Amino acid sequence: MDLYRLTIHELHEMLIKKEISSLELIKNVIDRIEETDPKIKAYVTVVKEQSLAKAQEADDLISRGENVGPLTGIPMALKDNMCTEGIPTTCSSQILKNFVPPYDATVTRRLSDEGAILLGKLNMDEFAMGSSTENSAFFHTRNPWNTDCVPGGSSGGVVAAVAADEAVFTLGSDTGGSIRQPASFCGVVGLKPTYGYVSRYGLIAFASSLDQIGPVTKDVTDCALVLNAIAGHDPKDSTSADVQVPDFTKYLTGDVEGMKIGIPKEYFAEGIQPEVKDAVMTAVQQFADLGAEVEEVSLPHTEYALPAYYIIAPAECSSNLARYDGVRYGHRTEESEDIVTMFKKTRYEGFGQEVKRRIMLGTYALSSGYYDAYYLKALKVRTLIKEDFDRAFEKYDVLISPASPSTAFKFGEKLNDPLAMYMSDTMTIPINLAGIPGISVPCGFAQGLPIGLQIMGKAFGEGNILKAAYAYEQVAGFYRQKPNLTGEE
């Protein structure tokens, strides 16, 4: 039986009815990884022995009926920027290639406490900087729908693993679209929660004020189940919100009658692939058919989001990545006569082009004499963008747009044109600046490549997002489609 194809909620039913064991399930998914990952290359590290041992523990719990939750015994994997005690955590960078954290990220611990079983760590753009996972220092991850295409990024391995059924669910991180854009490219569900909803403790920082961890799943129900497990206050993260977390599955009613949906016109401007626009507009019509009230809305400062983001994120990254100097952990250059050359050579050898580019951008933006013109101005733009959303959410429950202006592109297509690469995040960046949540759900195909629908909500409005996403998913049904990887089906 192809257990690896199933969702969390389907597998949970089978586990508690003892139709299958967790061990059976883990073996099945590991077989799948061994079969398809040489082609997809989603995983940087697989912890086979550990996962089999944990499966045995989960089966013991299930047989005793103790502490069995929806994630107990379910195999999953994490983006390789979330710390896992004793397991390498590389950020897909040479500089952290040999880094083994002595501690677990809060999400790692929470999933482990819920009984979920870690299969391994997933490839990404180095330090989460990129939109195609081509910036991984190790290898390219391929899009399961078309292996000539990128999976998107930076969470390329994270979405490819779920799309290729190499994990039942995964966690990604999203700083400017790194969960939603690849989720749209690979036809899976990817949620970026409200900033502060999921603890960042143990997430290797790219841009602290924008980074957020979120689930990547096969359907919206699974997304709600994973969010239930990872959301909530963490005293180890000062920016973590101290708010009550509801049971998100209660929003999965299929009823969007009377829901007010705004369509931000700025997200449909030129440059958008026609099939993407058509698929999204079809989805909008389906919402209207379900009884939602749909209206066009304007978010006037949208065009300034990208430039503001490319000041703020690099500025924070230039400081966050300063610690990789070869003194304490990670790569250290072989050739150094003194401390300054050791710093320089270590960083020269350890970081890739894109990371260096952003460190340079950020260092410049924070330099004395430029701070006011760049960083401070970018912060003001950020406030204006947030106010755009605040106004829109006075009237609408959710906003709908494409998750990306295009479907997945080919390897190499944008690699040497950073601006073109940055433009692929225009739809996703604004909500990171505003700190609000957004999801990408599959809403069609163009030339065999998935298209993603982005649903945005107000801060801590994940319930409404999941409600809309679930209702749409049930009607549209795209989530049931799978890429053909083995040529058998």
The catalytic residue positions are: 79, 154, 178
Tokens 């433009």 -> residue? 423
Size of residue set near another protein by CB under 8 A: 44
Q: Choose, by CB under 8 A, the member of 112, 208, 282, 474 that binds another protein.
A: 208
Is 82 an interacting residue with respect to another protein (CB under 8 A)? yes
Instruction: Return the range that interacts with another protein (CB under 8 A); candidates 164-172, 206-214, 287-295, 299-307.
Output: 206-214
Q: Choose, by CB under 8 A, the member of 375, 389, 409, 422 that binds another protein.
A: 375
Is 269 an interacting residue with respect to another protein (CB under 8 A)? no
C-alpha span between 193 and 271 (Å, rounded): 27
Give the DSSP H or E segment for 381: helix 377-395
C-alpha span between 467 and 470 (Å, rounded): 5
| Partners of residue 169 on adjacent β-strands | 76
Q: Choose, by CB under 8 A, the member of 48, 50, 53, 329 that binds another protein.
A: 329
CA 223 to chain centre: 12
Strands of 449-457's sheet in order across: 43-46, 117-122, 75-79, 169-173, 213-217, 189-192, 438-446, 449-457, 398-402, 260-264, 293-297
CB of 378 to another protein, least distance (A): 11
Is 366 an interacting residue with respect to another protein (CB under 8 A)? yes
Q: Choose, by CB under 8 A, the member of 26, 91, 453, 459 that binds another protein.
A: 91
Q: Choose, by CB under 8 A, the member of 64, 258, 368, 372 that binds another protein.
A: 368
Is 124 an interacting residue with respect to another protein (CB under 8 A)? no
Is 322 an interacting residue with respect to another protein (CB under 8 A)? yes
- The identity of residue 117, as a single letter, is I
Non-local CB neighbours of 372 within 8 Å, separated by 6+ positions? none
Instruction: Return the range that interacts with another protein (CB under 8 A); candidates 67-75, 150-158, 292-300, 322-330.
Output: 322-330
Q: Choose, by CB under 8 A, the member of 50, 147, 209, 273 that binds another protein.
A: 209
* CA neighbor of 465 nearest in space, from 270, 206, 194, 197: 194
Non-local CB neighbours of 392 within 8 Å, separated by 6+ positions? 262, 264, 297, 299, 399
Is 317 an interacting residue with respect to another protein (CB under 8 A)? no
Torsions phi, psi of 157, nearest 5? -65, -35
Is 204 an interacting residue with respect to another protein (CB under 8 A)? yes
Q: Which residues bind another protein (CB under 8 A)?
A: 81-83, 89, 91, 96, 99, 101-103, 105, 200-205, 207-209, 235-239, 315-316, 318-319, 322-325, 327-329, 339, 343, 363, 366-368, 371, 375
